[in-house]
Amino acid sequence: MIDTIEKEENLISEEEAAQYDRQIRLWGLDAQKRLRGSRVLLVGLRGLGAEVAKNLILAGVKGLTLLDHEQVTEKSRRAQFLIPVDADGQNQAQASLERAQLLNPMVEVKADIDAVESKLDDFFFQFDAVCLTRCSKDLMVRVDQLCASRNIKVFCGDVYGYHGYMFSDLGQEHHYVEEKPKVVKGSNEANDGPEAKKPKVDPNETTMVKKTVSFCSLKAALEVDWTNEKAKNSLKRIPVDYFLLQVLLKFRTDKGRDPQPDSFAEDSQLLLQIRDDVLETMGLSSELLPNTFVSYCFSEMAPVCAVVGGVLGQEIVKALSQRDAPHRNFFFFDGLKGSGVVDYFGSK
């Protein structure tokens, strides 16, 4: 019989306590137990998907399903460290399974070789969180709306050359706890001065604060009415990458693929045309997204996958463990500037 460190419904064995010792010390046993009881669906096993898979498996989720119907090619595994070099022609999820499982034998890792578009609604309901990469806008919106009805956390992300993004929808009411320095009451003695009577922060003591936050849907975040006065006033603080994402998602919808280095000249012209059409539809000037963007949004770059995958994996872990404040709703990364930006589009 396995010894356990606590006699509760979601038990953690001594072996798991040793494996996750650092994490338990960092965010607490309750958070680790919630994470250990969570099942995650990860769609897309290219460079970004591999980074997310690694982070979730090492963090100690209960189960991770890798879903991808595409075959391995030399190009597709350039930024993908889970796939062996001799796996060309195999299914990407299946080829990633062995190395993924070796990262942490305590996590149930499965491969699903179906296309995500073929999955019925009930398929998604078995998970606590769904992470979508390399998916069309229509599919992401559909899954987000579907999961919202069952309070399933949804995350989306992609890497395009030097650029990457992450989006999260944790529902209308996401509860979490945050560690804050403890505030000590000031003195009530009449003879004490005004400084002594002021509340003070004790750096040696902390307290856990329960909070609730609301998220907007992906559809609402992508379909902002920029002719609205309030939206116009906030335009200056919106990262240019938000509009780049709109262009790249439209390219994916129209062409059924992402821009390819092999067809750089043709795809560059198409991207510029889509940029003009998308921004005109929004009632915005094409100057908002300079022509130079076409030089930096082709293929996946491993360093960008590592950064975006790290943020995306961490946000999934925070959401499932209900520990620490989450991003709302977008995270954008620009590899040319070497910085990430968080943007908030409001609640539902």
Q: How confident is the model at residue 18 (pLDDT cuts 50, 70, 90)?
A: confident
Question: Is 225 inside a domain boundary?
Answer: yes
> What's at 266, amino acid-wise?
E
pLDDT value at residue 348: 47
Domain count, the chain: 3
Question: Is 152 inside a domain boundary?
Answer: yes
**Quick one: what percent of the chain has pLDDT higher than 70?**
87
| Residues 118 and 226 occupy one common structural domain | no
pLDDT value at residue 248: 98
pLDDT value at residue 79: 86
The pLDDT tens digits of the residues spanning 265-303 come to 999 999 999 999 999 999 999 999 999 999 999 999 999
Residue whose C-alpha is closest to residue 249's, from 283, 222, 288 = 222
Q: How confident is the model at residue 14 (pLDDT cuts 50, 70, 90)?
A: confident
| Residues 132 and 69 occupy one common structural domain | yes
Q: Is the pLDDT of residue 3 over 60?
A: no
The boundaries of the domain holding residue 272 are: 220-295
| Residues 136 and 51 occupy one common structural domain | yes
- DSSP of 41-86, one letter per residue? EEE--SHHHHHHHHHHHHHT-SEEEEE--PBP-TTTTTT-TTS-TT
The answer to whether the CB of 224 falls within 8 A of the CB of 339 is: no
Question: Is 4 inside a domain boundary?
Answer: no
Strand pairing category for 163-169 and 153-160:
antiparallel
For 9-23, b/e burial (b = at least 16 CB within 10 A) is eeebeeebbebbeeb
| Residues 188 and 164 occupy one common structural domain | no
What integer best gives the mean pLDDT of the chain?
A: 89
Question: Is 38 inside a domain boundary?
Answer: yes
Bridge partner residues of 88 (DSSP): none
| Residues 103 and 14 occupy one common structural domain | yes
Mean pLDDT for 104-120 is: 97
Q: Is the pLDDT of residue 168 over 60?
A: yes
| Residues 134 and 18 occupy one common structural domain | yes
pLDDT value at residue 195: 57
d(CA 39, CA 128): 5
